[in-house]
């Protein structure tokens, strides 16, 4: 399973509080993700405020997505408790068995789903 994650609001933190604070936000999010996911799962920062988590050894079908989202939410909670209370994350998940069988397609699909959630987050802020 891949989790494509976008740390919402990094630009606002950089603009409002400076790049040192933005760097602390990125480092805090990465540390929170490391604590939320297992050691066998692989975490990557792929640019700017985007991360990918490759989850190995999935739970039974139907629970893997929920479990992975729960881990992302746990990381976000930890990040907020560390002083970034306005932080949010957009997540897109895709699994090999349910969604596709090719690595490139899996990454593309999870990224596409993450951007859909990001658009939903932005739309709710405008309301």
The whole-angstrom separation of Cα 70 and Cα 101 is: 24
- Counts for the chain of helices (H) and strands (E), in that order: 5, 4
78 burial (CB, 10 Å; 0-12 / 13-18 / 19+) is: middle
99 is catalytic: no
Residue 40: CB atoms within 10 A of its CB come to 9
Q: Which of 6, 8, 49, 111 is catalytic?
A: 49
Give catalytic residue positions: 49
């Amino acid at each position: 399973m891949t989790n494509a994650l976008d740390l919402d609001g990094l630009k606002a933190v950089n603009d409002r509080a400076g790049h040192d604070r933005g760097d602390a936000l990125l480092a805090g999010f990465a540390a929170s993700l490391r604590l939320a996911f297992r050691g066998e799962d692989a975490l990557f920062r792929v640019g700017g405020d985007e991360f990918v988590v490759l989850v190995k050894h999935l739970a039974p079908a139907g629970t893997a997505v929920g479990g992975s989202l729960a881990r992302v939410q746990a990381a976000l909670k930890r990040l907020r408790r560390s002083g970034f209370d306005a932080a949010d994350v957009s997540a897109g998940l895709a699994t090999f068995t349910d969604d596709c069988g090719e690595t490139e397609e899996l990454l593309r699909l999870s990224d596409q789903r993450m951007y859909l959630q990001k658009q939903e987050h932005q739309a709710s802020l405008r309301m």
